[in-house]
Structure formats: structure tokens, C-alpha cells
Structure 1
Amino acid sequence: MSWHMANRVAAIAAAHAHDAFEVDPTRTPIQVAPAIARAELPLMWQPMPSLFGAYVANPGEPAGILVNNRLSRTVRRHTAAHELGHHWLGHTTSLDLGVDADSEHQPNVVGHRNTPAEKAAEAFAAWFLMPRRGVATTMKQLQLAGIESADQAYQLALHLGTSFLATVRQLASLRLITAEQARAWSRIAPATIKRRLIGELLDTTRDVDVWHLGRGRGRVIHASPADMLIVPTRDGLEAIEGPMTIKARTTRGVVLTGSSVEAPATALIHTCDDVITVVIEPRPHGLDLPGIVDPAAAESM
């Protein structure tokens, strides 16, 4: 199966899965864990040094999904969608290997990524998380008529809840950027973009994202505890409610960072003319039982 064919099949399959699992394709970031629950699959989050995830479907036994919770938030989401793809497409047991749980690599970068089943599941994950309508709606909310730089692609990826690399590839599939742009931007390390935004304020770029809040009024931000958020100077910062503190004041604006939380918690950032809602989400751990959908606990997973 070629990647072109895998994308054609996956686009249709993901649209049908959205309908089956009651997913609104225009509401991003698209929720994965509730969709897996509606598929009546148990979902286990556990640390695994060399495994991104697994779809377990042994004959005569209930199927299930396992995801490495050491991965970054965006790669966890992609991996969960990838494993859901295996289930939706009727595949057998699959172990999806990775190189480094803290890297920007996608699932299946080692081993059998080029098998028809892996191509189909990988393409399904992209179309499930980044359907055309979802990307278009998010771009409109961010006031982006087009994607003109890797920095814009990175910010779009944050709002979609997807990794920079997966987003760049999908933007090319959607013909929102050219193949040449996709190849060039794919060679840019996300760490470079993050440091371009706030420089030495970052002690590490691993599992830390940097949001610029100059666009997307009214959108809820779904962030990890260590993420940094830039409130532009022109907006002014009046108050913060919830698990978030001021990291620094720069020429770009006030840099905020989240606090460690045991369960999803909400922070409210009051600016001169707006209130920005930020949901701080810790790493998931343990078992999510099938049939139990709790949007409050798994809003963006």
C-alpha cells in the first residue's frame, strides 16, 4: 500500500469513526480517550522505555490499547489514535516501537512502519486528529488565512493537540502547504522554534511547549504542567487564577508557566479585555475502563 492510498483510505475511515464515536470534527483538540471508551476498549497508560503503544487483539479475548505515558502529550494522543486506528480497521495485535519517549518522532519509526497495516493506522491517526474541517476551523479561530512559516505550523499544532512533525505532514496532505515546505519544515527541530520564542528561559525543551496567546480568542488552551505561555505585552496581564505563575517579563510579553497538578485543573488568565482559559493536564496513568466517558477528566486526550 502506498502512502497516497493509505491517506485516501484513512480519510474516509476516520470520518466514519468520528460519526460512530460521536466526535465533532470541528472541535479541536479532538478527544481520543473518550472515543476509545465509546469503542468499548480498555485503555492503559503505563511507562514503557522502548514502546510507544500497542493494540492487543488476541482471538477469543477482548481487545485493548496500551500507551506509553512517558511520551509527550501530543505524541501520546497520536499513539492512542494510531492504536484506535488498528482497532477500527480490523487489524490484529500490533506493537508500535519508538526510539526515544521524549522525542518528536512518531510511532513506528523503527521496525514495521511500512507494512500496509502500519501505514493505514498511521494515516488514520493523522486524519482522526486533523480532519480537514477541524484544521480549517482552528485556522479560522486563530485568524490564519494560510500557514506561511514553521512557527505558525507549530502554534497550529499546539491548538490541534498534535506534534509539529505530524502537523506539517498533514498540512501537506491537505494541500495547505507545499511538499517543498513540508520537507524543509520537517527538518526544523521544534526546540529551535521554542527557543526562538523565549530563548534561555527554557531549561529544557523536552516535553515543554511554548504557546503564543496573541491569536485564538475564546479557545480553551490544553497544556502540560511545564508548558510556557506568552501573553503579549499589548494585552496586559491583570490577574491569574489557578495553577499558573509568572515566569518572566520579556519584550514579547509576560511568560507564564503551569504548576504541577495531580488531576486536570483550570487556570484563568485575566487580560485587559479577555479571560483566557487554560486546562493544565498531568500525565495520565493507569486504566481507563471501556464505556466510561468523562469529558472533564479527559477533555483533550
Structure 2
Amino acid sequence: MALDYASAVRAGAMAAGRLHRQLSTREVIEQQGGNVDVFGAIHAVDLPLLLRPLKGLLGAYLSDPAHGVLVTTERPMSIQRFTAAHELGHFSMQHQPSLDDESILRRMPTSPEPGGLFQETEADAFAIAFMMPKWLILSHSARQDWQVDDFRRANVVYQLSLRLGASYEATCRTLLRYNLISQSTMTDLLRTQPRALKIDLLKDYRPANYRGDVWLLTERDAGTRIDGSRNDLFVLRLKEHSGGGYLWDFDQLIASGFAIVRDDREAVDADAIGGPVVRRVTAAIEAAQRGRMSIEERRPWQPVPALAHLTFDFDLTGPEPEGLSRAERRHLLEAA
């Protein structure tokens, strides 16, 4: 175990990098998009995991008489994922058993825990580097055409957090850790609450509550993977060439299991006549499910060829339920 804080951070990050290479994580994400499958990684290394309500704890790592981890079912999916990554760090670095409470969130990513217990610092550093590696942040930024200066904008950081599968606060702190923003910028970002960002995205649509996240999806998300929650909402913002008779066929969206709750158009150029517009559709999933969404922009009287299309895979069955993880359940079903 490391003997000082800086060494602990380096050791945790290096251990995360080794596991990424062992599991070919980067290659998988480059092929299918999405975020790091933390629970899939736990299954891949044969680490037993059980999800259950935990009073006063987010998770636990056990090593005697056998290795295993517990993760709470009473927190959002982003917290479940970070907790699972933290416990995976304990296992990967052969730590002593650990009962982990809210301090693993307050501590990340730069503050050492009291008492010099550097195994917790190592596990935190592992979790950050495993769940939010810098290469993944840069990959999503390249896809979305985000520049470093864009990380000053809370709405951009919020959308990045969804694609990383992390909380908004954890994403802000991780951007600081990677020197992509300054301390003052992080402080400014943390003054903005995710609820305000959700309200702004949804315009005049008011859901029953704001527990779910709100994804802004554009043509840049084509071919990727969306890993979210059954309570999430989606704002599709797509250029539509209605002046030429081309319309996005949102019947295909409905057929994929989504319900349209708002549909609007915005002019790209208010002075242009017959030019393209921006179609802005807000949708909700009708039931927790996994699948593929595919819609096309085409003339209703001339279905083929389509002018444009948007396709992505989605898993909106989160957060993790009690019992086995969703990743392990899928593997058991595939093996049956």
C-alpha cells in the first residue's frame, strides 16, 4: 500500500489502467460507444457482487472467507456505479475489508481521508480513473465537438456526465483533476444545480418530478450507446429539411417504446424562407427496457431513400435493482 497521498493516487490510477487493458475496455467503447461498464467488469474478474438496501453505507468490500462486494440499491445509478468501481478498486489492489459510507463521495477526488488510511485514497483514485478515464472524456468531446473552453458551461458538463455515467459533481471534480478546468471554474460550475439544467432543457414541459436525467441528443450521437435510467427524458434536437418535404419519422421513435411529450420546431435562420428548421422532440421511455432506436428523415410520399437517419442502442433499465447486477443477469441468461 502507498505511504503517502500522491503515491496512493498514482497507484490507484495505474491499477485502473491495467484493468482497462486487461479487459480491452477502450477498444470495446470505441466500437460501441457508451460508458465504462463497471458492473460488467466486476463480473469479468469473477468478483461476486450483491445489491441490497444498506443502512448508512454505500457499499462494502469483503475478503474473508471469500472476496465479494455489496452495493446499495438506495442511491441513483451514478452513485451505484462509483461505489461499485470503488469496491472493485479494493479488490484489484488486494486491500483489507472496507465498509464504505458517504465519505467516498465527499473525499473524491483530491482530499485524503483522515488517519492516513491510504487504501481508501487508492480505491477512490482507482474508481475515478476506471469510470472516468481521461481518454473517455476526450472521446466524447471529439464526438460532440466540445472544446476545452466548453467545459466552462454547466450544460455541457452535465451532458458529459450523462455520457460518462457519473454524477454532475463528480464530473466537475474530475475535469479539475485532469487540469481541463480551473479551481475557480469548478466552483462556478458547482453553483449550478442539475435540476436547473433539466428545467432549461425541457422548456415548458414539466414532468412529475426531476429525479431522472435529461439527455440532449443530436446527429452527433448516431451509432453510440445510451446507458440511462427508466426515469430519464430525452430531448432530440435534429435539423429537418421540411422545405424540401423531408420530415423526421417519429412514428419509429414511438415503435421503439418511447412516448413523445413535446414536439416543436425552431427556425435555423429566421429570415430564410423554406430553409431547414430544428425539430425539437422531447420523449420519455414507456417502460424500462433495452433496445435500439432508429429514426429517418424522409419524404412521407417517398419513403426511400432517406435523407438522414439516427440510430443508437439504449439500456434504460437502471438503476441497479436488488440482487444480482444487470450485467450478471444478462450473462446468466445468455449461458442458459
Deviates more, 1:271-280 or 1:82-91: 271-280
Deviates more, 1:158-167 or 1:2-11: 2-11
Please state which structure has a larger fraction of its residues in helix: 2
Distance in 2, Cα, partners of 1:4 & 1:185: 26
Amino acid across the alignment from 1:62: A
SS at match of 1:144: coil
Q: Which residue pairs with 2:146 in the alignment?
A: 144
Distance in 1, Cα, partners of 2:187 & 2:202: 25
Greater CA radius of gyration, 1 or 2?
A: 2
* Unmatched 5+ stretches in structure 2: 241-246, 267-279, 298-307
Distance verdict in 2 for CA 1:22–1:294, change over 3 Å? farther
Total equivalences in the alignment: 285
Q: Which residue among 287, 308, 319 is the counterpart of 1:283?
A: 319
How much does 1:148 deviate?
A: 3.1
% identical aligned pairs: 26
Distance verdict in 2 for CA 1:62–1:202, change over 3 Å? same
Q: Does 1:116 align with 2:118?
A: yes
Q: Which residue pairs with 1:97 in the alignment?
A: 101
Q: Which residue pairs with 2:62 in the alignment?
A: 56
Distance in 2, Cα, partners of 1:282 & 1:57: 28
Distance verdict in 2 for CA 1:121–1:293, change over 3 Å? farther
SS at match of 2:70: strand
Distance in 1, Cα, partners of 2:146 & 2:62: 40
How much does 1:127 deviate?
A: 0.5
Q: Which residue pairs with 1:217 in the alignment?
A: 222
How much does 1:218 deviate?
A: 2.2
Q: Which residue pairs with 2:84 in the alignment?
A: 80
What does the per-residue CA deviation read over 1:4-40, in whole Å, with 9 as the maximum and x for residues that have no partner?
5443232212101212334227724011112111222
Q: Which residue pairs with 1:231 in the alignment?
A: 236
Amino acid across the alignment from 1:186: L
Deviates more, 1:149-158 or 1:217-226: 217-226
Query: Over the residues paired in the alignment, what is the CA RMSD in angstroms?
Result: 2.9
What does the per-residue CA deviation read over 1:100-157, in whole Å, with 9 as the maximum and x for residues that have no partner?
xxxxx93779xx9544222221121110011121111111111112223111011011
* Unmatched 5+ stretches in structure 1: 100-104
Amino acid across the alignment from 2:318: P
SS at match of 1:286: coil
Distance verdict in 2 for CA 1:97–1:107, change over 3 Å? farther
How much does 1:70 deviate?
A: 2.5
- TM-score, length basis structure 1: 0.83
Distance in 2, Cα, partners of 1:56 & 1:222: 28
- TM-score, length basis structure 2: 0.75
How much does 1:279 deviate?
A: 2.4
Aligned residues of 1:18 and 1:24 also touching (Cα < 8 A):
yes
Q: Which residue pairs with 2:170 in the alignment?
A: 166
Distance verdict in 2 for CA 1:138–1:10, change over 3 Å? same
Distance in 2, Cα, partners of 1:62 & 1:291: 19
Aligned residues of 1:82 and 1:122 also touching (Cα < 8 A):
yes
Distance verdict in 2 for CA 1:23–1:53, change over 3 Å? same
Distance in 2, Cα, partners of 1:189 & 1:93: 35
Q: Which residue pairs with 2:198 in the alignment?
A: 194
Aligned residues of 1:41 and 1:64 also touching (Cα < 8 A):
yes
Counting only pairs closer than 5 Å after superposition, residues 126-145 of structure 1 correspond to structure 2 as 126-145=128-147
How much does 1:251 deviate?
A: 5.9
Distance in 2, Cα, partners of 1:11 & 1:175: 15
